[in-house]
Chain A
Amino acid sequence: MSTAVSPAPAQAPQPEDGSAQSRSRLGQLPAALLRALLTQRIVLLLVLLLVIVVTMTTLSSNNYLTAPYDLSYMSSALISAVPLVMLGLAELLVITSGRGGIDLSVGAIVSLTSMVFGFAYGEWGWPLWPAILLAAVFGGLCGAVNGFLIAYVGYPALITTLATYYAFSSIAIVINDQQPISTAPIQEFFSTARSIEVPVGDGLPIPLGTLTFLVPVAIVVWVLLNRTTFGRRLYGIGTNDVAAQWAGIDVRRTRFSAYVLAGVISGLVAVVTVAQFASARPDAGVTGTGMALPAITIAVLGGVAITGGIGRVAGVVLATLLVVWLNAGILLAVPGNAGSQYQLLALGVVLVFAALLNGLTNRKYGRTG
């Protein structure tokens, strides 16, 4: 297999030893770069990110865009990255858990938990922190329904989460008779959650959600995956759950926990969404294409293997930045309604490209992250 990789090293004269070695090392440099680009998703994403930012700022400085594409625009665009990164991380957890792991219901959990949070904070007059805690716990319960059916009963993840997607989104709409909740406390919640000026340099408008939700969640998930036994077990069962079982890992419990965590994260996204819309909407997570499909796209683009066992937090974060800044640029380059349509095109092309690249990489170098 590897003979087909690069014809160049085969042409390198093999009998000569001393000089040939250095020459072949030089000759291998492009191959090594290509290899890094293809096998290290982080490297590829960084390069693509650089390409997008440089292209957009060049276009901007030549006045091709309707508004300047600068640091302050880029940082205010981060507001749309908050739910994307968080749900991308939720998908990272469940997809990594293996055996066809996927969660189509995250958007529906967001809708349902939005309503629950809206009731608690907006109608029943709960203080903010208990209400947020309730949202997380409730999201976790929804995730536990998925996790129980998938890990303990043995349902296929795709079908289970399709069914719970239907169920949760239906309950979310029926629970308050299709009406959104936007009472005074929730309106005030909106104003406190608006972007605040963070005194960095000229005072970049960093959206508050990135600091209060995105960064903490990303750090917690990173620590869970890389610094705890739960993380090692999760990668273990995702890579080979039979082997993990024989190694004494409680496969069911680990997989169950992954879905519960995805639910908790979705519950927190619900709080963010309520803050962004200034109302708890019954269709918050399922309008349009919904929230699940972009989240899965982000996870796959970030190098999470759909077969399980492979995936990194940094990949998901970089993939989100790529999509968010690309989308922000498209909005400036293509004004009006067409802008959001070209965002669809960009997302589709990027996803198909990333998936084909994954396939190519697997065949060329074996299974890698």
Chain B
Amino acid sequence: MSSSTLTPAGGAPAGEGEHTAQARGRVLPFPITGQEIVLIVVIVALWIALWLGTPAFLTGGSIVPLLVAMAPVALIGIGMTVIIITGGIDVSVASMVMVCAVVVAKAMVDSGISLPVAVLLSMVLGGVLGLVNGVLIAYGRVHAIIITFGTANLFKFVGLRVFGGSTVNGIPDTLDVFGRGAAGRTLGIPHSFLLMLVIAALAWYYLRHTPSGRHLYAIGGDADAARLAGVKVQRRVLSAYVLTGLLTGLAACFVIAQGTSTLAPNVGAGMELSAIAAVVIGGTSIMGGRGSVLGTVLGALLVQTVASGVTQLGWRSQLASLFIGIFILIAVGADLLRQRARRTA
């Protein structure tokens, strides 16, 4: 229906005429939603509060680790956003991180592979695991949460077998480009954060301005209607899980780089929940059909701000989960209120 307005989007969006921009404005929602504005306000308020509480907060020594730590969660969150927009979910990403991390770490220790090979290996491996999920969900036509609970166990088994009952020791510094050290920064900004931003921008453009990106929203809104409208539902759903696999593979490299030279079998544990929390706080509807990558990045930033804020204030680190839980409830509650207002308006 909107192909006439969407086709020109393939070109550079900046140099287009008034007419197309107007037409697109009518089809697409405003680039930034109320939830995202609220999130920015909350994050700024938290940063100011933390800066007043602990003056060390707004220094490079505190912000850089925060940005480095949020990068892998945000990266997985981008993939999770795409999946949740189609109405699915993937709870196996933590196990995927573990498999990718251990295989890459072992390869670096045993055969000393170079940086590009390590990243490529991790992403291909993640992509294959995502493909397994995607095929089972799209063609097995089973609810995503059930399948990914199952594959989470399977991947974890694979990862633990590769670990072989011990940790991986003496990991070389091949991946330090993504780390928290001096090698991982340009002009003081961590590379992992920058790379995540670039990928987020690409994903934002893909979801908003390409036909196949819009198809993902259509599938989440009503899969049957999307199929009748000519969307290749199964192929699109499959691609969402493969994309998440690729991004998770890259995130695994970040995780290795951020850790010490030892990799323990609990690597990645709990990341599926943090990623889903970031997506949901960012305003993506768990029912599918609505959501944005920008919100997810902001959500991940909020989650990480809370986590590092709690530690900086000298509180028990587990209190962060309590706040994250409350933030999830507030974010979803605000979304419900807006939906109700939209329906009555």
A and B found bound together: yes
Whole-angstrom distance from the CB of A363 to the nearest CB of chain B? 7
Query: Given A160, A162, A293, A359, which contacts B277 in the complex, CB threshold below 8 Å?
Result: A162
For residue B165, CB closer than 8 A to chain A, the reply is yes
Whether the Cβ atoms of B328 and A163 lie closer than 8 Å is yes
* Residues from chain A with Cβ under 8 Å of B157 in the complex: 341-342, 344-345, 348
B4 within 8 A of A: no
B187 at the interface (CB under 8 A from A): no
B161 at the interface (CB under 8 A from A): yes
Whether B131 is near chain A, meaning CB under 8 Å from some CB there, is: no
Q: In the complex the two chains form, is B322's CB within 8 Å of A352's CB?
A: no
A355 touches B336 (CB 8 A): no
What residues of chain A lie closer than 8 Å to B328, measured between beta carbons?
A: 159, 162-163, 166
B321, A348: Cβ atoms closer than 8 Å: no
**Pick from B136, B147, B152, B320: contact of A170, CB under 8 Å:** B320
Query: Is residue B143 within 8 Å, beta carbon to beta carbon, of the partner chain?
Result: yes
The reply to whether B151 and A158 form a contact with Cβ atoms under 8 Å apart is no
Judge whether A155 is part of the interface by a CB distance below 8 angstroms. yes
Q: How far is the CB of A284 from chain B (nearest CB, A)?
A: 14
Which residues, 134 to 169 on A, are CB-close (under 8 Å) to B?
149, 153-156, 158-160, 162-167, 169
- Contact status A156-B287, CB under 8 Å: yes
Closest to B132 in A: A352
- Interface flags, A348-359, vs B, CB<8A=1, else 0: 110110011011
* B140 and A170 contacting across the interface, CB-CB below 8 Å: no
Q: Tell yes or no: A174 within 8 A of B by CB.
A: yes
Summed over the interface, the residue pairs from A and B with CB atoms below 8 Å come to a total of 129
| CB neighbours of B142 from chain A (8 A) | 355-356, 358-359
Bound Cα distance A83, B328 (Å): 28
Whole-angstrom CA separation of A338 from B141 in the bound complex:
32
- B332 contacts A by Cβ under 8 Å: yes
Partner of B141, one of A156, A158, A342, A363: A363
The answer to whether B38 has its CB under 8 Å from any CB of chain A is no
Minimum CB–CB distance from A4 to chain B (whole Å) comes to 15
Most buried by A among B151, B157, B165, B324: B157
Q: How far is the CA of A159 from the CA of B284 in the complex (A)?
A: 11
Q: Which residues of B contact A297 (CB under 8 A)?
A: 149-150
Minimum C-beta distance from B21 to chain A (A): 35
Task: Check if A160 sits within 8 Å of B329, measured CB to CB.
Answer: yes
Task: Give A328 Cβ to nearest chain B Cβ, in Å.
Answer: 18
| B56 close to chain A: CB less than 8 A | no
Tell whether A162 pairs with B273 under 8 Å between CB atoms, given A153-B336, A155-B329, A351-B146: yes
* A residues contacting the other copy or chain, number (CB 8 A): 46
> B136 to A159, Cβ gap below 8 A?
no
**Closest beta carbon of chain A to B200's beta carbon, Å:** 22
Contact with A along B254-291 (1 / 0, CB 8 A): 00000000000000000001001100100000110000
Q: A251-293 CB contact bits vs B (8 Å, 1 = yes)?
A: 0000000000000000000000000000000000000010001
Q: Is the CB of B286 within 8 A of A355?
A: no
Question: Does A133 make an interface contact (CB < 8 A)?
Answer: no
Query: A31: CB under 8 A from chain B?
Result: no
User: Smallest CB–CB gap between B325 and chain A, Å?
Assistant: 3
Chain B 302-345 near chain A by CB (<8 Å), digits 1 or 0: 00000000000000101111101110110011001000000000
Q: Which residues of A contact B152 (CB under 8 A)?
A: 289, 293, 348
| Residue A229 interfacial (CB < 8 Å) | no
Task: Tell whether, in the assembled complex, residue A344 and residue B160 are in contact, meaning their CB atoms are under 8 Å apart.
Answer: yes
Nearest CB of A to B287, in Å: 7
**A53 interfacial by beta-carbon distance below 8 Å:** no
| Min C-beta distance of A176 to chain B, whole Å | 11
How far is the CB of B317 from the nearest CB of chain A, in Å?
9
Alpha-carbon distance A160/B150, docked complex (angstroms):
22
Q: Which of B146, B154, B156, B321 contacts A300 (CB 8 A)?
A: B146
Residues from chain B with Cβ under 8 Å of A349 in the complex? 150, 154
When distances are taken between beta carbons in the complex, the residues of chain A under 8 Å from B143 are: 306-307, 355
Name the one of B140, B165, B277, B324 contacting A355, with C-beta atoms under 8 angstroms.
Answer: B140
One digit per residue, 1 when the CB lies within 8 angstroms of any chain A CB and 0 when it does not, for chain B 143-172 equals 101110111111011001100010000000
Interface size on B, residues (CB 8 A): 40
Residue of A nearest to B146 (CB): A355
Q: How far, in angstroms, from A296 to B280 measured CA to CA in the complex?
A: 22
Q: Which residues of A contact B316 (CB under 8 A)?
A: 173-174, 177-178
Tell me, yes or no, whether B89 is within 8 Å of chain A by CB.
yes
- Closest residue on chain A to residue B89 by CB atoms: A158
* Docked CA distance A306–B142 (Å): 10
Once the chains bind, are B273 and A170 in contact (CB under 8 Å)?
no
Complex Cα gap A336–B276 (Å): 35
Q: Are A154 and B336 in contact (CB under 8 A)?
A: yes
Which residues of the partner chain A approach B160 to less than 8 Å between Cβ atoms? Answer: 341, 344
Q: What chain B residues lie within 8 Å of A352 (beta carbons)?
A: 136, 147, 150-151, 154
B268 to chain A, nearest CB (A): 13
Q: Check: A87 CB closer than 8 A to any chain B CB.
A: no
Min Cβ gap B333→A in Å is 7
Return chain B residues, CB-CB under 8 Å to A149: 329
A344-B157, A348-B153, A355-B147 known; A167+B322 contact, CB < 8 A: yes
Beta-carbon nearest neighbor of A352 in chain B = B150
Distance between B289 CB and nearest chain A CB, rounded to angstroms: 13
Is the beta-carbon distance between B153 and A170 smaller than 8 angstroms? Answer: no
Is A120 in the interface zone, CB < 8 Å from B? no
- CA separation between A344 and B98, bound complex, in Å? 14
A4-B326 Cα distance, complex, nearest whole Å:
51
Whether B287 contacts A170 by the Cβ 8 Å rule is no
Q: Shortest 4 CB-CB distances between A and B: which pairs?
A: A348-B153, A166-B325, A167-B325, A351-B150
What residues of chain B have their CB less than 8 Å away from a CB belonging to chain A? 89, 136, 140-143, 145-147, 149-154, 156-157, 160-161, 165, 273, 276-277, 280, 286-287, 316, 318-322, 324-326, 328-329, 332-333, 336
A–B complex contacts, Cβ < 8 Å, 24 sampled: A154-B336, A156-B286, A156-B287, A158-B89, A158-B145, A158-B286, A159-B280, A162-B276, A162-B280, A163-B324, A167-B325, A170-B321, A170-B322, A174-B322, A178-B318, A300-B146, A337-B165, A338-B161, A341-B160, A342-B157, A345-B157, A348-B153, A349-B150, A352-B150
